[in-house]
Structure 1
């Protein structure tokens, strides 16, 4: 069995892994990237972020053509959806991204080894018929869809988001268990193209980990797509009956209920994936959740082995993993990087989009922090009126003492892009007044942010 020596061996080619590998190579290290599957990119690129956004964009185009184009003076006859092309375009987007990653590995002289990585000892990883000897290792193996007790995802009628991205035909109906980010995004995709969608959520609001006002506003928005949203529901079973899925649950009153649909999609979160790594051989133990404990520089109990992304604590976000990958590469390179986890944005790609950065109002109340809350509605935005995207608002939370911006929460057009400006300001501990005194282009969606900061500083909004 051949042994190959490297400075840094990264295990997992998702966003965290490939970014870490590239940054380490840029710093002059000899780098290997081990990937279980034949393609690079991990969950995000192949069966997560990228294909989901491709379908979200396609479904939004179709929905606007069906319900808005007439108002714009664009008359269509015989509008219909070619579902096979709908899915095929998504596949083409994925292929473009994975091909780009192959190019980046070659450009940065990163050796790619395909196969399941398994530790032989603390300095050796077996991949196929080769052993990768490394000075440092980075575990970036990501996560897999989770399920509920007693529910088996058979990938036929009881499916995860992975299967929902590539269904053979458009379903007439779908039940989605879970009203978090993945659940509401996939609900949007299918409801827009005419599938009858029901969401069953255990909590009392959608996207329960985000600011509660965002969840309430999103629920109203999704209701306009005729999505049946049932909160405070405890799902007990999901069964494949051959040509349908039957879901049993307790409703908010504790009454036993049953629903039938073409498919049941389980979207109750994800779990860390470390199967086959043989972590014990490297002297690494996992927590009960399956995640790997790390210190502030993301070192595991073996100092030369690091872990990043979904396999460690924190939100399971591709951009979080990317930042951690960069941090680890720079720590190995002798630099002193810093990552502020409070300033990692969280985004939901429904339409209107939902985005947050910093503290929620619930967190501030629980911690006893004195603050002010201000909101500016997109209904008052000239740009939003011009594009017929007037749903939603920008909400700013400001410290009562010094006007420092503590949190920004947006539901509205292009919230995913607008939130970046708020994150930059908060990274420099700016006040609400400093943020509104920046010149914002007119007319833009970002002006709603400016006016929310203006109100947060105790002044009156002036833009329309």
Structure 2
């Protein structure tokens, strides 16, 4: 069977690429090796982790904050099994929704491992060992990523685990050790801390969320520490050993001294790596870089002119929404359109509580680029909406060009900033100035007023409520 476009992988990048291509009149096939669609994000990533984050957040509020709202309940308790079941149902509904979209858009879905026979033919090897070959004029690689580890760590997936196992543990850990102070480690660490686990985050860098703005990292660590999470930054892990139901992690601190951490579970959250196993890239000569990522040009085209790659399998931030945008870009490009993607305007979000969100440049990046900038910052504590909800932690910071006032970066810690960041992204897409944002009337009382106030602080240094 011949298709205009074959997509290998049905994660956010793959299935969105397929839908957009079909909308533009292309005959599309999607190959997925697992029995459910949606990739890591839907099955063992974004969606299930947010389900557990929300459930644990409700419980945490019941224990710690209901009383101050005048709400009295018997001593709150939770059924962890029900939380996990709820998460599973949400995943099932979401994957079912993707299947519906495939049918709606007349996309043929093949279950099995896709591998290149040549530049236009893909072999699909099914679970029962049978196989078939389909032909595509163009092929999009969207095979995503897998959790990384350290060379000396043995992942037994029982006590020494990745994010995949952390989403389906049989119990709440007594003491969860988390190696890596990035997005995954902090989100899953938050889930189990709220449910009563001791949580210790061990991070090699001198700060958590190392790639984010320094003020954000500092504020987030302060808030999470207040919630009871322990941090060991500037600690390089040297060994992880399991002894029965105990896990021992050894690390060297910045003085070179050995420190030992003991817990009953250890989550290895040191990032993710591109997944290309079994694709047969060498058969067609598709080039990969030194990190194992598929090499692409500005059109996400590989060195083989009819083969493209998107999402976690190529360079850049490993974010579902980045993969989606790349999927749209390739589909539209193959349909003869002229799409674009501005990688500087892809927001980064952490779903702890308070949430963290950022778009554009950090202060360190602006300094490194020798760009003259000005900064405006506004505390969430000064907002009427924050006082009403009791969510007082955090701030919004706006960075703008010192000469032109154009907004160059926005960094937030606070309630609902995962949604709020898009105000900044839209403003920056249209190259708004800090004054532009400051002069827009914002609803009162809302969390969004912090954006207006921070923009005014960057523009003229005179926020109205600080």
Query: In the alignment, what sits opposite 2:222?
Result: 220
Tell me the distance in 1 between the aligned counterparts of 2:430 and 2:134: 42
User: How far apart, CA to CA, are the structure 1 residues paired with 2:463 and 2:114?
Assistant: 57
Give ranges in structure 2 of 5+ residues lacking alignment.
126-130
Residues 384-423 of structure 1 aligned to structure 2 (within 5 Å): 384-423=386-425
Match of 1:257 among 256, 259, 267: 259
List aligned pairs for 1:166-177, cutoff 5 A.
Answer: 166-177=168-179
Identify the residue that residue 236 of structure 2 maps to in structure 1: 234
Q: Which string of whole-angstrom CA distances, capped at 9 and with x for unpartnered residues, describes residues 282-310 of structure 1?
A: 22121120101100000000011000000
* 1:93-129 superposed Cα distances (whole Å, 9 cap, x missing partner): 1111001001000000000001000100111000022
Question: In 1, are the aligned partners of 2:376 and 2:461 still within 8 Å (CA)?
Answer: no
Q: 1:124 maps to what in 2? A: 121
Mapped to 1, the partners of 2:393 and 2:287 lie a distance apart of: 47
1:78 and 2:71 equivalent? no
Following TM superposition, by how much is the alpha carbon of 1:252 offset from its aligned partner in structure 2, in angstroms? 2.5
Question: Which residue of 377, 380, 386 maps to 2:379?
Answer: 377
* Other-structure match for 1:243: 245
What is the TM-score normalised by the length of structure 1?
Answer: 0.98
- CA deviation vs aligned residue, 1:34-62 (integer Å, no higher than 9, x gap): 00101000000000011111111111111
Partner of 1:324: 326
Residue 99 (1) aligns with residue 92 (2): no
Partner of 1:5: 2
- Could you say which residue in structure 2 is the equivalent of 1:287? 289
Instruction: Tell me which residue corresponds to 1:202.
Output: 204
- Work out the CA distance in 2 between the residues paired with 1:463 and 1:259: 45
Q: Shift in Å at residue 242 of structure 1? A: 2.0
Partner Cα separation in structure 2 for residue 279 and residue 451 of structure 1: 51
Question: Does structure 2 retain, via aligned residues, the 8 Å contact 1:351–1:412?
Answer: yes
Aligned residue for 1:351?
Answer: 353
**Is 1:234–1:251's contact at 8 Å kept on the other side of the alignment?**
yes
Q: For residue 457 of structure 1, give the secondary structure of its aligned residue in structure 2.
A: helix
Distance in 1 (alpha carbons) for counterparts of 2:78 and 2:252: 36
Task: Give CA deviations for 1:211-255 in whole Å, capped at 9, x if unaligned.
Answer: 011000000111112111000001011122121211111123211
Alignment of 1:58-77 (within 5 A): 58-77=55-74
C-alpha contact 1:447 1:463 (8 A) present in aligned 2: no
TM-score, with length taken from structure 2:
0.98
- 3-state SS of 1:121 partner: coil
In the alignment, the residues of structure 2 paired with residue 78 and residue 453 of structure 1 have an alpha-carbon distance, to the nearest angstrom, of 44
Once the two structures are TM-superposed, the CA of residue 87 in structure 1 deviates from its matched residue by: 1.0
Structure 1 CA distance for aligned equivalents of residues 397 and 142 of structure 2: 35
Root-mean-square deviation (CA, aligned residues, Å) is 0.9
What is the CA distance between 1:350 and its match in structure 2?
0.4
Alignment partners' CA distance in 1, 2:230 and 2:254 = 14
CA offsets 1:154-189 (integer angstroms, 9 cap, x no match): 101100011000001111111000001111111111
Moved over 4 A (4+): none
- What CA distance in whole angstroms lies between the structure 1 residues aligned with 2:50 and 2:20? 26
SS of the aligned residue for 2:331 comes to: helix
Count of matched residue positions in the alignment of Structure 1 and Structure 2: 461
Structure 1 position 81, deviation (Å): 1.4
1:25-64 matches, cutoff 5 A: 25-64=22-61
What corresponds to 2:153 in structure 1?
151
Hey, what's the Cα distance between the residues in 2 that align with 1:344 and 1:171? Answer: 34
Q: Output aligned runs, 1:7-26, within 5 Å.
A: 7-26=4-23
Give secondary structure in 1 for the equivalent of 2:218.
helix
Q: Which runs of 5+ in 1 are unaligned?
A: none
Give CA-to-partner distance per residue, 1:251-289, whole Å, 9 cap, x none.
Answer: 232111222111000000000000000001122121120
